[in-house]
Structure 1
Amino acid sequence: MKKLLVASAVALAMAASAHAETNKEGEKWVAGFVEYYSTDQAETGAPFYIDNGMGLGVEFGFRFKPQWAARIEAAALDIDATPDDYSGSRFGIDALYFLPDDLFYILGGLKTTKIAESDYYVDLGIGKHWDINENLKVVTEITAYQNLDTSHTHMGYKLGLAYSFGETSSSTPASARDSDNDGVNDSNDLCANTPYGTKVDATGCAIAAVQAADSDNDGVADDKDKCANTPTTDKVDANGCSIFTEEEVSVDLRVLFSNNSAEVNYPLDPQIKEFADFMKRFPSTDTVIEGHASAPGKADYNMKLSEDRAKAVRSLFIDRYGIDAKRLTVKGFGETQLLDTSNTPAAHEVNRRITAKVSASTRVKVKK
């Protein structure tokens, strides 16, 4: 396991240091190789002694993306052992990730190996294809094989010769690369990593834009702003004017009365004033003042009492708060709409009441 972790760390460290660019999508290769196979010493000891050995194998690979490839591999292994040597075999598949400019590749896969017995391994390693010419390559590779059933880890050191074919595109010359896609080749770009979409000059550096004046900071330039000095909290349209929306607003009124009384006990009650202020703010609104009575007493008497209560509240709005009488109507409900039917003093108190509600539509600014 330690060998596997070391191999992983080396691979990741080398990957982080790479920065070049290549493109060999569509490349295929066949290779033959020899391998020095090192067993985990934890597997040695009486009555068996599985030692190191040699291997001989073949592989076929296909690069389906500029940096990604897959391969199948088969190998015959000759392992030294006590009391008898073993003629083993290995077969499996790997995924390969090639770093830019084929600096090296990282591999990982699954293998089935038979030495003394059949086992399954996951493998992780690093390798490189060294170009001899356009088609021939020397293959070097170091791989760790981790047994899935035990903690044993084997190592393989491979040297081979590969023949490649079918490549659809080749590496991009360094002089023609444009790493930040700003239209200026890296060889002429004095400002690397310019954000995508930035306008640049011939040297690849951002062109400073002339900022149009926007006095009220609403995002619309002064020469196009038809509403100067808009509050910074307002959302504006293309003309720089605040955007409004219609919202429904309302206020409720609830007044309680003493037993057998139509007199408003607290004419200066804040909720009464709030209701009156609302009607003044929205002069096009009308409301119905509804009177109610508790259950004790005769029904016809309670009906008249509830209507008198509604009239008393209406008179209060007209006389004290100046609300137009035409906007206020009354209706008595007697004991027909009790809120609490438990026939207790507390129930009678909540049932002796006035209710009213007024609603209106108003334009409200849309905030950012």
Structure 2
Amino acid sequence: MIEPFRFEAPQAALDDLHERLDRARWPERETVDDWSQGVPLDAMKALVEHWRHRYDWRACEAKINALPNFTSEIDGLPIHFIHVRSAHQDALPIILTHGWPGSILEFLDVIDPLTNPEKHGGSAQDAFHVVIPSLPGYGFSGKPADTGWGVERIANAWAILMQRLGYGRYVAQGGDWGSAVTRMMAAQRPEGLEAIHLNMVIVFPNAGEDNSDAEAQEAIAVANAHKRWGLGYSTQQSTRPQTLAYALADSPIGQAAWIYEKLQAWTDNDGRAEDALPAEAILDLITLYWLTNTGGSSARLYWESFSTAFGDSPIELPVACSIFPAEMRRPPRRWAERVFSNIIHWNRLEKGGHFAAFEQPSLFVSELRNAFRKIR
């Protein structure tokens, strides 16, 4: 039921990528001097030049394959996951869930600090056994051929996976879609789930309440700006993902721009995505989407669940929240307390954005250690 997994991209696929990049037909330059119309032409050309002439996918592939990778069929779909056990047998099992346009790659730099804490400023009591699945339709997991793979079904699949791995007691963590899946797990309360941690916290103010304080005003302004300028991608993916899929499957530059824009918009940077993430890491993520042809299949999760993913169902399990300063939603704690009745950790960080583990692995690890010490 659990099979070892290894990925090796056919050389023909890499050659095809290079040929497509060489044949690129570029649009005209934007009519502004910033990113307000999308990825600027000069920035896109620079990224593609790096991709074509200096980037090495095989280095990323080697990092992935150096870890214990597996697949297991759950509810009729092959689910890929990384599973790294700590040398400490009493370590706390944790399942980490990525979002869009993320992947398992976001978590590669936190695996060793979580499983071997003494090497990274922690103690043996901080150790975790780490499970990192690829969402259905993402990365190396199977692509659903029928409707129904929304967050509820994914949350149930993750509970089955943890049970299948023999973990009778565990915690869950997520951001972006991972936040929605993790919250749904807490709402479903599968046997063994003890607590959750979120690094994207979507909760809402009550109508008519006094939100004149600075923290609430900032939260409202940030949310309104995202609604005004940041939801075009999600409207497309939640309504017509198949139409989008043709462009993303056929054009590597189109796929790259679709992701690169969000890495610039959602990371804690000084104007460039490369301020927050190395160019190699950016291209690792983009190339993973390209080689697995998951632009369309990953978008369908929005069609399945976007309108219902972040409801206000009460959560009684212990909840830990880390609010990063460049996150697209930064609510005050009192909004969250109406949904989460047992908040065990709440912290506002000084740096970092939407891709917390990817951008700030040390801070991310510290947050998980501090949060889950309370339930060990």
State whether TM-score is above 0.5: no
Tell me the TM-score normalised to structure 2 length. Answer: 0.17
Greater fraction strand = 1
Greater RCO (Cα-Cα under 8 Å, separation 6 or more): 2
Q: Which has the larger radius of gyration?
A: 1
Would you tell me which structure has more helix in proportion to its own residues?
2
**TM-score, normalised via structure 1 length:** 0.18
